[in-house]
């Protein structure tokens, strides 16, 4: 029996510590082991990923590659520029591979991709080993323990989790790695088509990394931002397992902080340093194992007298992640949208998603049903709503790729049920592009929570953009940091600058006028007027939410699917849907003309991600409507 020749396929597990899958690969005692990242070039042109998250991913890959080389100077992370669905069958043959090993991923796209790869491997006579390690529990087992249903509350998730027994203890990093074998790539590369290029706005140069399987220098190197033609990243937060473990050491060194952490009490206005751990991007890319995090925190909690408890404690935060992964794993693609989703309430928001009628999936495009709502949305996205708390958060998000969880609450509530009355799917798409820690399960789940369509329903509890931040930051230091034009404003007006007398505005060097598209006026800086009068808008939203709750439709309701929901909202004075003669569907049938084969733009760049191939499916051109 010849010794195994193993491809270890890295995806959202960019680490050496606590990797059950990597351990399984090493347990085979292979003759050779190839640490491989397969990179579908489609990501470059079709992913909704800003430069900050690109940089974080490349950081993780570089750090991992260096760590691998430290264990074996002949080895590294071999980055191969082709989609796994087409690459692996050629690679298995060229390198005489006997085993493929990877970590389980329950994201909807990942399941499609991986089942395809598993089939290819079986056809090629390659054995496949898959281990869970991305989450505390295997999401599929969690669902099983929840009577086959998606985990839609934290108590369900906790109850289901406790039936699965103790969370596995972390596995130490290996102290040696086998050599890789020969690395000939004597086969053709499947080249990507560059159109549609929905990622164009992330780039200011040409993409030059994907011209050959092993990259421009033929050395399997991790691409650079420059090679990818990406605009420079602006975030101070950097990726990689080395950094993640150092951060975890520093956090857990403060045992009181670790043991008594209560999320709702942490300040969303703290920026130097932030009030929470900032480990979420590392959990997403797998540069930190969630189980490592869990046990490092739990061991401190266990020996502490006044420790906080789930769900507000640090480990509680990880349990929410489990809940969202359980919900997503049960629902698949539908989890990230309202249309067809039985768990989600239907609210007739503005700017609804266009639906691909062939797949019943959202397309990443939307319909501008109301120009005013579009104006609200664009000003929200660009951080010029005229509400400094909201604008500061949105500017921090775009610049740094991270905002505090309660800050996310504030902007999400403002965009949806507590202000703009814009569809939560619009907000989720902006977060998808800008957040370093974006993962579909948590992002979609949190947007559903905050917009009160699932997980949470107390829509009458509405965040004020003026009062809420003052709980932590009366002086407005956070606002002054991210909206520097308001730096000199008196604390009395820093959250509502439009109320300051004109003479004071001029004295403080900034006049409040317009919509934020002009930065200066003569010697003065300019900050926009509020996009609407908040309290009136808030009342209108709550009234409409109440009505929509009363109507009581779910995303899977026949009337949502066929468009007849409109009749039920006709007497809703302040926002009756335009016309009753629209096309079928809650939203719109997607234009036939923009379709191509095999891609869905909701796909993400990271391992959980990429080209959403549907057997019978279609691919939509993603055209940004803003």
Partner DNA sequence: CGGGATGTTGCTACC
Partner DNA sequence: CGGTAGCAACATCCC
Does 142 contact DNA by CB under 7 A? no
Provide the minimum distance between the beta carbon of 472 and DNA in the complex, in angstroms, as a whole number. 11
Q: How far is CA 516 from CA 289, 295, 383, 503, in A?
A: 42, 47, 9, 20
Residue 331 annotated as part of some ligand binding site: no
Instruction: Closer to DNA by CB, 9 or 320: give it.
Output: 320
* Length of the chain as a residue count: 626
User: Are 545 and 424 spatial neighbours (Cβ–Cβ below 8 Å)?
Assistant: no
Residue 230 annotated as part of some ligand binding site: no
* CA gap 514, 530 in Å, rounded: 9
Provide the minimum distance between the beta carbon of 605 and DNA in the complex, in angstroms, as a whole number. 25
Does 316 contact DNA by CB under 7 A? yes
Does 405 contact DNA by CB under 7 A? yes
* CA gap 571, 276 in Å, rounded: 45
| CA 45 and chain centroid, separation | 18
* CA gap 473, 14 in Å, rounded: 37
Query: Following DSSP, what letter does each residue of 21-44 receive, concatenated?
Result: HHHHHHHT--SEEEEEEE--THHH
- Is 625 exposed, middle or buried, given 0-12, 13-18 or 19+ CB atoms closer than 10 A? middle
Residue 277 annotated as part of some ligand binding site: yes
Provide the minimum distance between the beta carbon of 315 and DNA in the complex, in angstroms, as a whole number. 11
* CA gap 326, 156 in Å, rounded: 10
Provide the minimum distance between the beta carbon of 619 and DNA in the complex, in angstroms, as a whole number. 35
Residue 280 annotated as part of some ligand binding site: yes
Instruction: Closer to DNA by CB, 121 or 413: give it.
Output: 413
β-pair partners for 37: 79
Provide the minimum distance between the beta carbon of 380 and DNA in the complex, in angstroms, as a whole number. 17
- The residue within the footprint of DNA, chosen from 96, 162, 467, 520 (CB under 7 A), is 467
Instruction: Closer to DNA by CB, 9 or 380: give it.
Output: 380
Residue of 194, 173, 140 whose CA lies nearest to 326: 140
- Residues in the interface with DNA (CB under 7 A) total 34
- The residue within the footprint of DNA, chosen from 118, 130, 154, 173 (CB under 7 A), is 154
- Per-residue x/- track, 468-507, DNA (CB under 7 A): x--x------------------------------------
Instruction: Closer to DNA by CB, 320 or 493: give it.
Output: 320
- Tell me the two tokens of residue 496: 């509502």
- Tell me the two tokens of residue 17: 């510590």
Count Cβ atoms below 10 Å from residue 110 Cβ, excluding itself.
24
Instruction: Closer to DNA by CB, 177 or 323: give it.
Output: 323
Residue 132 annotated as part of some ligand binding site: no
Provide the minimum distance between the beta carbon of 419 and DNA in the complex, in angstroms, as a whole number. 12
- The residue within the footprint of DNA, chosen from 257, 456, 472, 524 (CB under 7 A), is 456
Instruction: Closer to DNA by CB, 146 or 396: give it.
Output: 146
Does 320 contact DNA by CB under 7 A? yes
Site for DNA in 284-313 (CB under 7 A): 311-312
Provide the minimum distance between the beta carbon of 468 and DNA in the complex, in angstroms, as a whole number. 3
Q: How far is CA 272 from CA 350, 477, 487, in A?
A: 37, 11, 17
User: Are 312 and 263 spatial neighbours (Cβ–Cβ below 8 Å)?
Assistant: yes
Provide the minimum distance between the beta carbon of 321 and DNA in the complex, in angstroms, as a whole number. 9
User: Are 225 and 204 spatial neighbours (Cβ–Cβ below 8 Å)?
Assistant: no
Please give the radius of gyration of the chain, using alpha carbons only, rounded to the nearest integer: 25
- Tell me the two tokens of residue 199: 């990622």
Instruction: Closer to DNA by CB, 262 or 521: give it.
Output: 262
Instruction: Closer to DNA by CB, 139 or 469: give it.
Output: 469
Residue of 165, 176, 575, 536 whose CA lies nearest to 351: 575
Q: Which residues are annotated as a binding site for FAD?
A: 276-280
Q: Using CB under 7 A as the criterion, which residues of the chain lie in contact with DNA when the complex forms?
A: 152-156, 262-264, 311-312, 316-317, 320, 405-406, 409, 449, 456-464, 466-468, 471, 546, 549-550, 552
């Amino acid at each position: 029996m010849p010794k195994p020749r193993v491809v270890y396929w890295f995806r959202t597990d960019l680490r050496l510590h606590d990797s059950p899958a990597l351990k399984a690969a090493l347990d085979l005692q292979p003759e050779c082991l190839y640490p491989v990242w397969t990179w579908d070039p489609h990501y470059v042109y079709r992913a909704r990923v800003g430069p900050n998250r690109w940089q974080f991913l490349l950081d993780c890959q570089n750090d991992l590659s260096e760590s691998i080389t430290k264990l074996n100077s002949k080895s590294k992370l071999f980055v191969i520029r082709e989609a796994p669905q087409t690459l692996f069958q050629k690679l298995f043959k060229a390198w005489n591979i006997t085993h493929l090993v990877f970590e389980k991923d329950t994201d909807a796209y990942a399941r499609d991709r991986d089942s395809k790869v598993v089939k290819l491997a079986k056809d090629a006579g390659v054995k496949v080993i898959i281990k869970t390690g991305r989450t505390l529990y295997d999401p599929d087992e969690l669902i099983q323990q929840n009577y086959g249903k998606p985990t839609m509350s934290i108590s369900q998730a906790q109850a289901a989790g406790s039936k699965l027994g103790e969370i596995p203890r972390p596995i130490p990093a290996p102290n040696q790695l086998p050599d890789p074998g020969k690395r000939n790539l004597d086969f053709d590369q499947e080249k990507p088509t560059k159109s549609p290029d929905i990622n164009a706005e992330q780039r200011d140069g040409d993409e030059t990394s994907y011209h050959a399987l092993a990259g421009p220098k033929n050395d399997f190197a991790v691409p650079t931002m420059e090679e990818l033609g990406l605009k420079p990243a602006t975030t101070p937060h950097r990726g990689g397992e080395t950094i993640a473990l150092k951060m975890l050491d520093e956090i857990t060194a403060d045992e009181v902080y670790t043991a008594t952490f209560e999320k709702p009490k942490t300040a969303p206005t703290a920026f130097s340093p932030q009030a929470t751990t900032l480990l979420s991007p590392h959990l997403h890319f797998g540069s930190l194992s969630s189980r490592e995090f869990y046990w490092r925190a739990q061991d401190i909690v266990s020996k502490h007298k006044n420790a906080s408890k789930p769900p507000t404690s640090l480990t509680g935060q990880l349990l929410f992640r489990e809940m969202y992964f359980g919900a997503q794993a049960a629902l698949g693609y539908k989890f990230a949208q309202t249309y067809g989703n039985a768990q989600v309430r239907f609210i007739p928001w503005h700017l609804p998603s266009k639906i691909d009628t062939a797949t019943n999936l959202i397309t990443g495009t939307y319909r501008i049903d109301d120009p005013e709502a579009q104006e609200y949305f664009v000003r929200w996205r660009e951080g010029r709503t005229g509400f400094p708390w909201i604008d500061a958060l949105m500017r921090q998000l775009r610049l740094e790729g991270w905002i505090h969880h309660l800050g996310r609450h504030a902007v999400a509530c403002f965009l949806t049920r507590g202000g703009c009355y814009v569809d939560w799917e619009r907000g989720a798409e902006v977060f998808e592009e800008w957040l370093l820690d974006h993962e579909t399960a948590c992002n979609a789940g949190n947007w559903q929570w905050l917009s009160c369509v699932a997980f949470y329903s107390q829509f009458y509890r509405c965040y004020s953009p003026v009062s809420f931040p003052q709980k932590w930051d009366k002086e407005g230091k956070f606002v002054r940091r991210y909206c520097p034009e308001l730096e000199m404003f008196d604390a009395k007006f820093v959250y509502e600058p439009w109320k300051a007398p004109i003479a004071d505005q001029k004295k403080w060097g900034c006049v409040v006028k317009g919509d934020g598209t002009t930065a200066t006026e003569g010697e003065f800086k300019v900050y926009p007027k509020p996009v609407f009068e908040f309290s009136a808008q808030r009342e209108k939203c709550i009234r409409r939410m109440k009505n929509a709750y009363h109507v009581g439709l779910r995303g899977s309701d026949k009337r949502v699917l066929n468009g007849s929901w409109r009749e039920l909202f006709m007497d809703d004075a302040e926002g009756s849907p335009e016309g009753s003669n629209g096309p079928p569907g809650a939203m719109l049938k997607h234009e036939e003309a923009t379709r191509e084969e095999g891609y869905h733009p909701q796909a993400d760049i990271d391992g959980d991600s990429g080209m959403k191939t549907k057997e019978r499916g279609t691919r939509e051109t993603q055209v940004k409507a803003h």
